[in-house]
Structure 1
Amino acid sequence: MTDHALTADPATASGRVPLRRMALYGMLGFSAGLPFYMFSTVLALRLTEHGVGLVVIGFFAWVTLLPTFKFLWAPLLDRYDVPGFGRYWGKRRGWIMLSQLGIFTAMAAMALTSGDASLGITALFAVLLAFWTTTLEVAADAWRIELAPTQDEQGPIVAANLWGYRSAMVAAGSGALLIADGTGWTAAYLAIAVAAFAPFPLLVAMRADEEGGRQAGNRWSALVAGLVASIVILAIACVVTAGIGWLLLGAAAGIGITADTNVTPYVLAICMLPFVAMALAVPRLRQLPFSHPARRSAVIGPYVDFFWRYAYGAIVLMAFVSIYRMGDVLALQLSKPMIRGLGYSLSEIGRADSIVALLASMIGVGLGGWMVTRWPMGQSLAIGAVFAALGNFGFVWLAYQVPTEPMLYLATAADQFGNGMAGAVYVVYLSLLVNPRYPGAQYAFLSGFTFLLPRLLAGAGGGMVQSIGYNNFFALSGAVSLAAIAFLPVITRLRPRPDDHPEAVAG
């Protein structure tokens, strides 16, 4: 049985999504969501507690840039299997299992170096954690698009996935802070590492022919082979990451970038480069026939196909996706240091990030998933943008309140509700833009580009806050979310060119 076998599921074919599949994607979302805060928001608080400067904490936001570049290795996940795991459980599940091993080892390493005595070591393991978390998401997203190609099918699965994802983010953020406040950062990271690894034995226990497995060979021999291969792959990834980091830090030092450098002008210039490159490339790409090597390439073909299908409309789409979630990303890295600076304790922040954030997020995700199955996409995107902006404005409001837990709960709930709603609508929208022939690569490209500009700017966020203050920073981030609405009249009218693949033409 192949990874595509479930596309023939009678329940899906009739428009109903099996509960078994929704539960699976809830679990995958949970597995991917647990690590995210540990290399972003929780790490920012950990660095704050260790006296690291705000500008340097902002630089650590660039760790979250890694998911932006997932399109660089996403085609490998479409093309190759993980030795051992893939032979028995299938391509998608094999990559998910490898990723979970990577997540566990990277987070355990962050736990054992939780004193942050060397920021270079902290950055190394944070990058590895981000890499394996992203790889898990790439495999799960490709699988989801293959199994649920229509808007009606995507809505419930995306909602289940985001429920799991956001529940895990809340559990990690809240649980880690409560544990850290009581027993220290090492215990906090180890506890989340164990929780993130919990789905691995569940995947191993699933039948080989269930949810796209292949049932080739013996389960236990495949598991042993997969574990041996995973150790080798994880070691190679660590060495390569360390080498790249050493080169980048050396280059930064060589051009004089320090903790006191105002990097905002450089970041803004870099942000313009992708749009210049796209404007120069589109006239050529839109003329390429399907027989051209660039369109048939396993490495760049999926991305060339996107620009071939949308032509100049692709530039408008890329501009829209680059700002729709910008407000959320800009607020993510610095919201917790701001709240800590207002006088709230780690335990108070942890309690706000527990049941309050979880309920608000799940309600927002549920409403977002419901909207896209019943309302036009443009209307759903607009509503999501408004509520995401209100979440950012909530931090401005919080700064003027007397520090009490109810006030923190209100601001947290507004932020999580808006992010949940906008996220659910947006994931469905991106999923409908991709060509079903290249689901993993194209979704990775679009979702990665979504966070390229925001995360570049987030890295300069510490310097921006020092210049304009937290209040203006969060007001600006909310305004950017609202600015995305101006694109909706255009993007809702864009339609791709008909597929010129020989099979599609013959059909």
Structure 2
Amino acid sequence: MSPAGKQHGWTESFLVYRNPKVVSMLFLGFSAGLPILLVFGTLSAWLRVEGVDKTTIGFVSWVALAYGLKFFWSPLIDRAPVPVLTKALGQRRGWMLLAQIGVIYGLVSMASSDPVGHLQATVLFALITAFSSATQDISIDAWRIEAIEEDYQGAMAGAYQLGYRLGMIVAGGGAFSLAYYYSWPVAYLFMAAFMLIGPVMVMIIAEPDHPQPSGAAAYRGLPVLVRLKHWFIGAVLDPFREFFVRQGLFAVVILGFIMVYRISDITLGVMANPFYIDMGYTELEIGLVTKTVGPFVTIAGALVGGVLVMRYGKMRMLLLGAVLVVLTNLLFAWLATQEARLLWLILVVGADNLAAGIATTTFVAYLSSLTNKAYTATQYALFSSIMLLLAKFVAGFSGLVVDGTSYPFFFVYAAALGIPSVLLILVLMKREQRLLQEAEV
């Protein structure tokens, strides 16, 4: 095992994707990326085809909020055993398999439901699918962090993103194609079949070491209420307390950085499609570039990001990713002043997706390094939720900014939102350098 932060040669950095655990993340990422569109964008299309009104479709999309609220039940994934499955497979694999069974059940049930006559049932099954999918995300993230040393987390994140994007492509374009040639129920049955990749991988991968917090078995034999009290303290409160004790007051700076890192690209993303339409690009051009070229460039960026993290370390790549996001947002400001030429759209969207792939892979590796393996699921779920809270809130005002100014101004504004993350990364790098110097003394 190499020490965290060690720089590796180029050959070793590229060959990291041959590591069996990294390869496993490709398939687990596919299993994680497949369900989200099936309860969000793809489901919305199905409901609209069936004649469900747009207001109702908007309300139905709230089932996807399960992904943003998963930190509420993440302590269970860390500490509570799954009857039979935990004993047979281990804590991480047991929860993973249970969640995958829930996703498959939800998708099969959605396929057999009638969204016109019994919409409530369809929504209930979609909620089961979303909840199970979010639970799978928690357990996969925990497995990813615990299964391999920190130096490999960039590659693990890159492989995960590759699989995740492929899963989304299947759940998007694949489901639409099946619905066109057959029907939406048939499409959802096929998606449930694709989800079998997840359980197969659970049977192949090994359970990682999952250190238990000290004193975890000290309360056996005590009354039930007393044990529940201590369980709540250990499973829910201790993960947050441990992070603040370990990081000290600097924990506030770290959480602030997590909050602002995605604000720039999430804010831009809200107005991206309206911008393309207002520029005069056709639906075919928009679909070709954003749904075909864009995802594959993002995948390339994710894989490149994994190599660069392995080669240069996560902190320098965090800085590079943040700067690239700012610069590519400025490219949109330039695009807004040009005529609607397909080549310009391909180049700008391609650059934006490449930057997003590199930045996201590096950010996932960084968040993974912050967790204590005794509380992996809870702490990582907390970080990933904090990442979206402020960003989603600020992004909600994007339309107001565009309506009150112009697209070029909006994209400069979106780029400027990325400056705080660049500054905070410099602070984090300075602190890490100081800690390394103190460790050498």
Specify the TM-score bucket, using the shorter chain as the normaliser. 0.7 to 0.9
Return the offset for 1:430.
0.9
Structure 2 residues not aligned, in runs of 5+: 1-11, 210-228, 436-441
Deviations 1:43-84 (A, max 9, x none): 677789879779995x88765553333222111111123334
Deviation at 1:378, TM superposition (A): 3.2
Q: Does 2:142 align with 1:142?
A: yes
Q: Which letter maps to 1:76?
A: L
Q: Of residues 191, 202, 214 in structure 1, which corresponds to 2:200?
A: 202
Q: In the alignment, is the contact (CA less than 8 A) between 1:45 and 1:336 conserved in 2?
A: no
Quote how far apart the aligned CAs of 1:318 are. Answer: 1.0
CA deviation after TM superposition for structure 1 residue 494, in Å? 4.2
**Structure 1 residue 19: Cα displacement:** 2.7
CA contact (8 A) 1:175 1:350 kept: no
1:32 corresponds to which letter in structure 2? A
Q: Name the counterpart of 2:6.
A: none
Change (3 A) 1:120 1:312: farther
- Could you report, residue by residue, the CA deviation over 1:464-494 in whole angstroms, capped at 9, with x for unpaired residues? 6665566655543333234310112222344
Query: CA separation in 2, counterparts of 1:70 and 1:473?
Result: 32
Match of 2:87 in 1: 87
Report the CA distance between 1:144 and its aligned residue: 1.6
TM-superposed deviation, 1:364: 0.8
Question: Match of 1:300, SS?
Answer: helix
Q: What's the CA shift for 1:433?
A: 1.3
Deviation at 1:111, TM superposition (A): 5.9
Tell me the residue number matched to 1:313: 250
Contact map agreement 2:263 2:418 (CA 8 A) in 1: yes
Counterpart contact for 1:178–1:346, Cα < 8 Å = no
Paired residue type of 1:211: A
| Aligned counterpart in structure 1 of residue 350 of structure 2, from 406, 413, 418 | 413
Q: Give yes or no for the alignment of 1:335 onto 2:276.
A: no
- CA distance, structure 2, for counterparts of residue 198 and residue 415 of structure 1: 33
Aligned pair in 2 of structure 1 residues 115, 63: CA closer, same or farther (>3 Å)? closer
Of 423, 436, 447, the match for 2:373: 436
Report the counterpart of residue 207 of structure 2 in structure 1: 212
Distance between the aligned counterparts of 1:123 and 1:329, measured in 2?
27
Query: Whole-Å Cα distance in 1 between the matches of residues 105 and 424 of structure 2?
Result: 42
Q: Deviations over 1:124-176 (max 9, x none)?
A: 665544432221111111112112232x2222222222221223234434434
1:362/1:420 contact within 8 Å kept: yes
Offset at residue 384 of structure 1 (A): 0.5
Give the residue type in structure 1 aligned to 2:322.
Answer: A
1:284-329 Cα deviation digits (max 9, x unpaired): xxxxxxxx97996222111111112222211111111011012333
Whether the 8 Å contact between 2:47 and 2:115 is mirrored in structure 1 is no
User: What pairs up with 1:280-319 in 2 under 5 angstroms?
Assistant: 297-319=234-256
Match for residue 157 of structure 2?
Answer: 158
Give secondary structure in 1 for the equivalent of 2:235: coil
8 A Cα contact 1:295 1:305, kept in partner:
no
Aligned partner of 2:67 in structure 1 is 67
Say which is worse superposed, 106-115 or 69-78, in terms of deviation. Answer: 106-115
- Mapping 1:252-263, distance limit 5 Å: none
Among candidates 268, 272, 294, match of residue 357 of structure 1? 294
In the aligned structure 1, how far is the partner of 2:287 from the partner of 2:179? 10
Structure 1 length-normalised TM? 0.65
Q: Tell me the distance in 2 between the aligned counterparts of 1:466 and 1:121.
A: 39
Residue number in structure 1 paired with 2:104: 104
User: How big is each residue's C-alpha offset from its partner over 1:5-56, in whole Å with a ceiling of 9 and x where there is no partner?
Assistant: xxxxxxxxx9986632122111011111122344455567778987977999
Which one-letter code corresponds to 2:353 in the other structure?
A: Q
Supply the distance in 2 between the matched residues of 1:114 and 1:191 (Cα, whole angstroms): 17
Q: 1:390 to 1:20 in 2, by over 3 A?
A: same
For 1:168-199, what per-residue CA distance to the aligned partner results, in whole angstroms no more than 9, with x for missing partners? 2344344345556777766655544443x131
**Cα distance in structure 1, aligned partners of 2:283 and 2:117:** 21
Quick one: which amino acid aligns to residue 199 of structure 1? I
What is the match of residue 221 of structure 1? none
Using the alignment, how far apart are the partners of 1:100 and 1:106 within structure 2? 10
CA–CA separation in structure 2 for the residues paired with 1:56 and 1:472 = 32
Superposition deviation, residue 98 in structure 1: 2.1
CA contact (8 A) 2:239 2:375 kept: yes
> Alpha-carbon deviation of 1:449?
1.0
Q: Taking structure 1 as reference, are residues 454 and 180 closer, same or farther at Cα in structure 2, changes over 3 Å only? A: farther
Summarize deviations over 1:103-137 as a string: whole Å, max 9, x none: 33444566677978999877666554443222111
Is contact 1:335-1:395 (8 Å) kept? no
Counterpart Cα distance in 2 of 1:80 and 1:137: 16
1:304–1:122 Cα change, 3 Å: farther
Contact map agreement 2:102 2:132 (CA 8 A) in 1: yes
Three-state SS of the structure 2 residue aligned to 1:413 is: helix
Is 1:449 the counterpart of 2:393? The answer is: no
- Residue 442 of structure 1 deviates from its aligned partner by 1.1
Residues of 1 paired with 2:339 and 2:52: CA distance? 25
Q: Give CA deviations for 1:421-462 in whole Å, capped at 9, x if unaligned.
A: 001110111111112322221111112211122223445656
1:61/1:458 contact within 8 Å kept: no
User: Could you say if the C-alpha distance between residues 36 and 331 of structure 1 is closer, same or farther in structure 2, counting changes exceeding 3 Å?
Assistant: farther
Query: What does 1:359-378 correspond to in 2, within 5 Å?
Result: 359-378=296-315
What is the alpha-carbon distance in structure 2 between the residues aligned to residue 115 and residue 401 of structure 1?
Answer: 44
Alpha-carbon distance change, 39 to 492 in structure 1, aligned in 2, over 3 angstroms? farther
Letter in 2 for 1:138: I
Unaligned 5+ runs, structure 1 = 1-13, 215-291, 499-507
Instruction: Say if 1:124 and 1:384 are closer, same or farther in 2 by CA, change over 3 A.
Output: farther
Q: Could you say what secondary structure the match of 1:438 adopts?
A: helix
Which residue in 2 is equivalent to 1:501?
A: none
Letter matched to residue 481 of structure 1: G
Distance 1:183 1:478, change over 3 A: farther
- Specify the alignment match of 2:215 in structure 1: none
Distance 1:24 1:470, change over 3 A: same
In 1, distance between residues paired with 2:238 and 2:317? 31
Distance in 2, Cα, partners of 1:337 & 1:348: 14
**Deviation of 1:360 (Å):** 1.0
- Code of the residue aligned with 1:308 in structure 2: it is V
Query: How many residues get paired?
Result: 400
